[in-house]
Amino acid sequence: MSPKQVPAPGVDPYFPANGDARYRVHRYELALDYRPGPNRLGGTARLSAVAGAVPLPEFALDLAEFRIGRVLVDGRAAHYTHRAGKLRIRPAKALAAGAAFTVEVHYTGNPRPVRSQWGGLGWEELTDGALVASQPVGAPSWYPCNDRPGDKASYQISITTPSPYTVVVGGRLLTRTTRASSTTWVYEQPAPTSSYLVTVSIGHYETVRLIEPSPGPEPLRAVPQTAYLPARLLPEFSTDFGRQAQMMHFFEDVFGPYPFGEYAVVVADEELDVPVEAQGLATFGTNHLGGARGSERLVAHELAHQWFGNSLSIADWRHIWLNEGFAKYAEWLWSEHVGGRTAAEHAATAHALLAGLPQDLRLGDPGKKLMFDDRLYERGGLAMHALRRALGDTAFFRMVRDWAAIHRHGTVSTADFIAHAAHYATGPLDGLFDAWLHETSLPPLPVGT
């Protein structure tokens, strides 16, 4: 990237129009009402934020084409314009550098996905209900936000719907209150959360508690695990997700303590191309069930994202391999753990696959066009395997646990990871990282002890 192309600090080079790096949000409070029939969403978003190093005569939020009722800054009416997905707000008085402030936005409309090169992103109306799958820039499809992965905040989300529907949000259910024919569900997610990782599922679901088997005489902390799915799918679900509780224990051994208060999975009553991770929650489709554990690698992949991608969030989308490389390698580790193919066997298969494909992907900065390319996932897993071979198992897994612990609920970059890994090596790793992250040609298959 030439000097003229270097983005301003905090601006995502893949999505420079998204977010506003001049301030940070530390809490969102959303009070929403949703009617599935007419697909009508309305409510109030209250954001608590802090201005950056310079005064703010105006600032921007990302929000799709809703009708705005009013906008308040610190309780006072503010001037605003709303065009092309940007809500630009001018307070009655400029905000001082470093000042804490609140923004309140009242809005209504018919939510629909944000258009992108990957199809619609964000709020999706289902045959009978709705779900949210926002990665990477779909969050503005349903609430006003500072849509940058590195701007993490806590959330309280209240959603009122007709009473027959179940509402699932990532986090802890605080209250469920029914009045007449409507029910209000209030969830709290205290952990810092990227805007794209906030999700909602609304549907006719049965609730299933997953029971964790004790791994020995001294049981580990039991992470509450809950599933929401159509009742007719319960028999298949019990097989396809039957080892998730065991998987949670294994990943806590490998990656360190689970970083959130609970974990939920939703099986939406629709087919989905791929499952979708969110903070403390993952959403699957009916096509991911079959009663034969045919999608168990995806169960592992989405659970691993709770550590890598959610607790440890990337500073911007150039670093997406840190999310997907760890999650892909988690698939291989789980397979090895339960007596399936070893990580080395998976690595050999992935290497053979990549060797026959175009060599034009730079893992450490793939570009917007290739950031979700299948090759990024496979090469990311291979890079992790190469690092494991270079460090040896003891140092590698200590490095992984420390990486998750040191940066818990923070933001990370490729440079951070390279510097971290160096502390666990007996020799320089520059050649390894250059070959796997910065060169496009495929390095040799990692071998070693």
Same domain, 214 and 334: no
pLDDT at 9: 63
Number of structural domains found in the chain: 3
Quick check: is 238 in a domain? yes
Q: What pLDDT, in 10s, does the model give residues 265-289?
A: 999 999 999 999 999 999 999 999 9
* 121: CATH: 2.60.40.1730
Q: Is residue 427 part of a domain?
A: yes
The stretch 333-337 carries a mean pLDDT of 98
Tell whether residue 288 is among the known ligand binding residues.
no
**Interval 40-76: pLDDT, tens:** 999 999 999 999 999 999 999 999 999 999 999 999 9
Last residue of a domain, one of 306, 333, 362: 306
Binning pLDDT at 50, 70 and 90, where does residue 98 land? very high
Residue with tokens 């990486």: 403
195 and 323 inside one domain: no
Give a yes or no: residue 444 inside a domain.
no
pLDDT above 60 for 6? no
Long-range pairs for 294-300 at CB < 8 Å and ≥24 separation? Answer: 294/240, 295/240, 296/240, 296/243, 296/334, 297/331, 297/334, 297/335, 298/274, 299/240, 299/241, 299/243, 299/244, 299/247, 299/265, 300/247, 300/330, 300/331, 300/334
Mapped onto helix, strand or coil, the DSSP state of residue 148 is: coil
The CATH number for 296's domain is 1.10.390.10
Kindly state the average pLDDT of the residues 421-440. Answer: 98
Residues 215 and 151 in one domain: no
**Residue at which a domain ends, from 284, 306, 328:** 306
Contacts of 387 (CB under 8 A, 6+ apart): 396, 421, 429, 432
Query: Is 155 part of the annotated catalytic residue set?
Result: no
- pLDDT class for 447, splitting at 50, 70, 90? confident
Domain ranges, residue 163: 3-200
Write 212-218 long-range contacts (CB < 8 A, 24+): 212/245, 212/246, 212/248, 212/249, 213/245, 213/246, 215/249
Find out whether 321 and 380 touch, Cβ atoms under 8 Å. Answer: yes
Q: Is 65 within 8 Å of 118 (Cβ atoms)? A: no
Residues 37 and 153 occupy one common structural domain:
yes
Residue 15 domain-assigned?
yes
- Lowest pLDDT segment from 84-88, 112-116, 211-215, 386-390: 211-215
Residue 360 neighbours by CB distance under 10 Å: 12
Task: Give tens-digit pLDDT for 198-225.
Answer: 999 999 999 999 876 555 544 456 899 9
Do residues 8 and 138 both lie within one domain? yes
At 2, the pLDDT band (50, 70, 90 cuts) reads very low
Task: Give yes or no for a contact between 368 and 14, defined as CB atoms under 8 angstroms apart.
Answer: yes
Answer yes or no: do 91 and 74 share one domain: yes
- Confirm whether 338 is domain-assigned: yes
Residues 170, 213 within the same domain: no
Does residue 357 fall inside a structural domain?
yes
Sequence-ordered list of residues with C-beta below 8 angstroms from that of 168, at least 6 positions apart, any chain: 200, 201, 202, 205, 228, 264, 266, 281
Sheet strands side by side (includes 79-83): 59-62, 86-90, 79-83
Query: Do residues 227 and 301 both lie within one domain?
Result: yes
324 appears as a binding residue in the annotation: yes
Output the pLDDT for position 294. 86
Q: How many CA atoms lie within 13 A of 284 on its CB side?
A: 27
Position 449 in a domain = no
Which of 306, 334, 356 is a domain's end point?
306
Residue 71 sits in the same domain as residue 196:
yes
Structure tokens at 131: 């779900």
225 lies in the same domain as 360: no
Q: What is the pLDDT of residue 213?
A: 53
Q: Kindly list the distances between the CA atom of residue 336 and the CA atoms of 5, 237, 332, 343, 396, in Å, as whole numbers in the listed order.
A: 44, 23, 6, 6, 16
Q: In the structure encoding, which two tokens stand for residue 282, read together?
A: 């993952």
Q: Is residue 351 part of a domain?
A: yes
Are residues 226 and 282 part of one domain? Answer: yes
C-alpha to C-alpha distances, 384 to 26, 266, 322, 395, 396, nearest whole angstrom = 33, 29, 10, 13, 9
CA–chain centroid gap for 18, Å, is: 17
Residue 243 has pLDDT above 80, yes or no: yes
| Averaged pLDDT, 402-423 | 98
- Average pLDDT, stretch 130-151? 98
- 130/235 same-domain check: no
Catalytic residue among 302, 329, 331, 424: 302
Give the rounded percent of residues in the chain with a pLDDT score beyond 90: 93
The model's pTM is 0.95
Q: Do the annotations mark residue 236 as ligand-binding? A: no
Site of tokens 């799958």: 133
| Mean pLDDT across the chain | 95
